[in-house]
Structure formats: C-alpha cells, structure tokens
Amino acid sequence: MSIRSIRRQATYPGAYVGTANAAPIYVDSDDSKLKIIPAGSGSTEVALHDSSSVGLTTLNIGAVNGSTVSAVERGDGMIHQTVLTLTATPLTLADATVGAGVKIYDFPVGMITVLSASGSVAETTTSAIATTLNSGVTYNWGVGTTTQASGTLATTEQNIINTTNGTSSTTINVAAAASASTQTVAPLAYNGKSTAIDAFFNVGIATATDIDADATTTWTGTVTITWLLNDNV
C-alpha cells in the first residue's frame, strides 16, 4: 500500500474527536509529517524527522578552511562522515607549477583512518581564457594530505580522493561540466597525533602548454570523506 493510499484510508481507533471515524491519521508524503485531522477545521501536525539533521555530531570534528567551504558532520565521535561543500572556492592555477592546491579541511589531532571518499566538482575560469588557462583543456583534480606540486597529481597529492580528469571552461565565468572521483585504494591510516592531518583540494594541468599564464578559477561541488578517529594510541 502506498503512502498516499494510507493517507486516504487510515484511521486511528480511539482518537476520534466528535463523530467516529472523523479523525484520520496519515503520513503526508509531501512534507514528511504525521497529520491528525480532528473534527472541524484545522489539523495537528507532528514532524516525523528532518533527514538533514539525522546523525549530526559536534564531537571530535575537524575544521573547514576558508569562507567558501562548509561542512556537515555526522557520526558518533569516533566514526565520522564529513561532507564538504565548495561554493565558488577560488584557486589561482600558477603557470610555474602548472596548478595549485588549497586546504579545505583540518582533521582533529589523532590517528585518522580514511575509510572511503568521493567528490564531484565543476571548474569555472574567471580570467581571460585565451591567455591564461586555455579553452576546454584537461585538468587533473584530487584530494590529498599535501598540497599540489606538479601538473600530474600523485602520491600524497591525491591519497584521499584519487586524481581524475576534468575539462576546463570554454567561456569565461561559465562553469564547465562536473567531474567526479572516488577513493579507489584500501582504507589508509595517517598519523596526526602531533600535527593534525590536512585535506587539500588539488588541481594540476598535465600539459604545460595548456596554461599560458596564471589563471584565476573557482570550484563548486562536494567532497565526502568517511573517516575513523583513534586518539588513544
């Protein structure tokens, strides 16, 4: 039976107000509320739950870096899932290093095991395309525990989310298509007992001739990291 069928048919014996069967009770699938309609006008509404608040935690969480990055933290203080939202996060891709990186998250102090991770981002070139980052060229992006140092991301530049390709803007200030990637290695442990582990969003331009001068870009999307904290070792 569908939720809407329940809404039409279900009644709650013993909860009638006034004439029997005048107090239907149902789940309204439009706004996820339990509704009781007593005799006469008006209704009583009881929210079942707000899925956006399920499992939220403030225990042993990390910290975002920058005003364009926000985080939703879920877990129990030991097992966490951090969803980072990048909203036009600025990144200047340097011609000299054919890319750039920016810290987006600072894990709490302790042993951090990344259980899984995934992300999807879209690039927007905000500088002159013909003379900085060329139109529709291939970039590499990933998330790692160190910042970008080369055009082809490797090792700790992409050890949280593995490097994958995307295509840059073809029109200035117009976002290109989103590019998605995941962690494809087994869970990895990082020793952040003395110095907290950071997560860097990194971008590299593998073909150096695709960038003619420093390019200003923004990045919008999400990065989801599921991780375990052990601060007792």
pLDDT of residue 200: 98
pTM of the model: 0.78
Q: Which residues of 155-166 are buried (b: 16+ CB within 10 A; e: fewer)?
A: eebbbbbbbbeb
Query: What average pLDDT values come out for the chain (233 residues) when binned by 10 residues?
Result: 39 40 49 50 50 79 97 93 98 97 97 96 97 98 97 96 97 98 89 95 97 98 96 64
Structural domains of the chain ordered from first start = 3-48 (no CATH), 54-230 (2.60.120)
pLDDT of residue 13: 41
CB neighbour class for 209 (10 Å; exposed up to 12, middle 13-18, buried from 19): exposed
Strand 33-36 with 44-47, pairing:
antiparallel
